[in-house]
Copies of this chain bind each other. A is one copy, B any other.
Amino acid sequence: MRIMNKSDLPSLKRSVDQGTEEQRKSVQTIIARVKHEGDEAVRAFTEQFDGVTLEDMKVTKEEFEQAYQSVDGEFVSILEEAAANIRSFHEKQKTSSWFDTNSDGTMLGQKITPIEAAGVYVPGGTAAYPSSVFMNVIPAQVAGVEKIAMVTPPGKDGRVPDGVLLAAHILGVDHVYKVGGAQAVAALAYGTETIPAVDKITGPGNVFVALAKREVFGDVDIDMIAGPSEIAVLADETAKAEEIAADLLSQAEHDARSSSVLVTTSPELAEDVKEAVLQQVEKLPRKEIAGKSVEDYGMIVLCRDHEEAVAAVNEIAPEHLEVMTAAPFDDLGKIKHAGAIFLGPYSSEPVGDYFAGPNHVLPTNGTARFSSPLNVDDFVKKSSIISYSEQALKTHADKIARFARLEGLEGHARAVEIRKERWT
């Protein structure tokens, strides 16, 4: 983990490569085939990429039951408590349709309607993520989405991790399909005999999943393309080096391309954190991943003063930001770009990954400059409502017609003017 002076760094902006031309071509082929051949193509690609011949893509009642039996009751209650916290936080995000009336009889407003069907991609791979199930499904449920389908790649044994099924079961999601990769995204976008088409696909995945989501975007909606995890810690001399190191490593262990950055004005803290990271990483089960991540993408940025430090954080626009300074709330107003902001020494990043309530699906790769954590608004859409009265049209018809003619759209002008026959 290098210690660098901020002034020596040209840019802290991160840009992670999102796939090669070859990968893109391959994803296009997969999508085209799933679109036209349906289940048959899904089965073929699952055999090719996951090494599994699927008899039944859909998870059965027995499999859910088995997953439920595989863990003890105490763990089920932890999951249920987490789900309740997440639900409670997202309930507070709900917005209502609204309207506004004018004395001339005009009514204008916005009607909020949930999307009808959502699809959730739950990644497989090295770790099973029941928390991904919660974080993607609960906002959709709170928004009022009626149909929720989940896809997740099968293991070599053709099974899906118990934790994922348990989480789905707790939320009452029973449409779970053992399909992953670009073929799963294509199936959700266009539908197959077995997998229903949805209107929006969310959830993280590998580069093929990310590329597939980008391809189907427009035919369906997607959440932001997820990159590797990121954490930035803004800390002063009041923070504990061991805690910062542990938090940095919690993100580094996700992916060798994860990024963990300490931003500080304290040279002492910088040295201590560097040391603590080196010591702690050795003891981690995922030390190879975490070690490579901190070596390649870990950094300690030493700043001249607090102002420069805050500016550095905004330049990074991190997915997760921890503020471990003497007065973290004083810094909140200065932070412009971050997916989630963890304030104070007790708000360790994993608190937000599982339990506190806010969503862990967050903008990465600097996209916190313009995008938000997954939230209830992502699963509703608005329709504008326009109700003009006779009086309102009488008052404004000529102005609207003149505006239309300036834009060269005579048909628009006439559509308004033809109503004048009603009162002349």
Contact = CB atoms under 8 A, between A and B. Distances in A.
Contacts of A403: 78-79, 82, 130-131, 354-355
Contacts of A89: 100, 108
Interface stretch (A4-12, A41-49, A173-181, A413-421): A413-421
Contacts of A127: 407-409
A415 B421 CA distance: 74
A383 B368 contact: yes
Name the prevailing secondary structure of the A interface residues.
mixed
Number of this chain's copies in the assembly equals 2
B411 A116 contact: no
Contact of A372 (B81, B349, B382): B382
Contact of A354 (B82, B337, B377, B404): B404
Contacts of A402: 75, 78
Q: Which of A15, A89, A351 has the most CB of B within 10 A?
A: A351
A339 interface: yes
A358 B384 contact: yes
Contacts of A327: none
Contacts of A335: 111, 383
A51 interface: no
A353 interface: yes
Interface string A124-142: 0011111100000000000
Contacts of A95: 95
Interface string A160-187: 0001000000000000000000000000
A295 B342 CA distance: 58
A412 B358 CA distance: 17
B373 A384 contact: yes
Contacts of A358: 108, 110, 384-386
Interface stretch (A54-62, A262-270, A389-397): A389-397
Interface string A337-374: 11111111111111111111111001101011111110
Nearest to A110: B93
Interface stretch (A148-156, A217-225, A303-311): A217-225
A18 to B, nearest CB: 7
B163 A407 contact: yes
A316 to B, nearest CB: 13
A192 interface: no
Contacts of A253: 409-412
A266 B400 CA distance: 31
Contacts of A377: 377
Q: Which of A249, A365, A388 has the most CB of B within 10 A?
A: A388
A59 B214 CA distance: 35
A400 B78 CA distance: 8
Contact of A81 (B92, B284, B341, B399): B399
Contact of A247 (B78, B355, B415): B415
A290 interface: yes
A252 interface: yes
What 10 pairs across the A-B complex have the smallest Cβ distances? A358-B384, A127-B408, A253-B411, A350-B412, A340-B384, A372-B382, A343-B387, A246-B415, A221-B370, A250-B415
7 contacts: A18-B218, A93-B110, A131-B407, A250-B411, A250-B415, A253-B409, A343-B385
Given A111-B341, A343-B387, A355-B403, 17 more contacts: A15-B219, A78-B403, A79-B403, A92-B98, A129-B407, A199-B370, A243-B418, A246-B411, A284-B411, A339-B383, A346-B389, A346-B390, A346-B393, A350-B413, A350-B416, A351-B396, A358-B386
